[in-house]
Copies of this chain bind each other. A is one copy, B any other.
Amino acid sequence: MPPPETPLTPARILEATEDVLRRYGPAKATVVDVARALGVSHGSVYRHFRSKTALREAVTDRWLDQDHDDLSRIAHAKAPATERLESWLRTLFAAKRRKAGADPELFATYVALASENSETVAGHVETMLDHLTTIVESGIADGEFTMRDARATARALWDATTQFHDPVYAPRWSDPDMDLAFAAVCELLLDGLRAH
């Protein structure tokens, strides 16, 4: 436990919340549980998160957003769109696999939390679609990709790679043939986008 003079920031509260989730599972992580873990009054936690729902949404959001910086950097990089798209999809898949493989119980806990917070998840998917749209738009602008509706294409790319990001498939992500499967799907999709 940190010394009591450490300021109680939202980040510290969310870290403690993850700790509570890791130890006690998705049923726990109420404001009171988290306050107890931090050795503070629940009033202090309520000053940052007004309800159990707000706290659980925020911790789900933090988990989903973990890899957004890396993905955003790739989406907005100065590199050919084909290269960025392949790298973006590969980075997303690697991040998901890492999260699922490193701590399968915590992963399952977050999947359960995500299913309670469908708006948080929808917001996360929108951000992912924004990245993909950015890549597709710049590929079209550069003449690297054929002309098409960038947003609809982003959605199609997201849907066609479901197996590599939907946690439903997490049990398969450690299969030895998943890398080949990923490469084959990527290749087909990139061939579909490329201008001829």
Contact = CB atoms under 8 A, between A and B. Distances in A.
Interface of A: 146, 152-153, 155-157, 159-163, 168, 180-181, 184-185, 187-193, 196
A133 to B, nearest CB: 13
A156 B184 contact: yes
Contact of A192 (B162, B163, B180, B188): B188
| CB-CB nearest 8 A-B residue pairs | A192-B192, A196-B196, A156-B184, A191-B192, A160-B160, A188-B192, A156-B188, A156-B185
In the assembly, how many copies of this chain are there? Answer: 2
Contacts of A162: 162-163
A184 B163 contact: no
Nearest to A191: B192
B184 A153 contact: yes
Contacts of A184: 152-153, 155-156, 159
Contacts of A163: 159, 162
Nearest to A157: B188
Given A153-B188, A188-B153, A181 B159 contact: yes
Contact of A188 (B180, B187, B189): B189
Given A156-B181, A156-B184, A191-B191, 15 more contacts: A152-B180, A152-B184, A155-B184, A156-B185, A156-B187, A156-B188, A159-B163, A160-B185, A188-B192, A189-B189, A190-B192, A191-B193, A192-B192, A192-B193, A196-B196
A144 to B, nearest CB: 14
Contact of A159 (B155, B168, B185, B193): B185
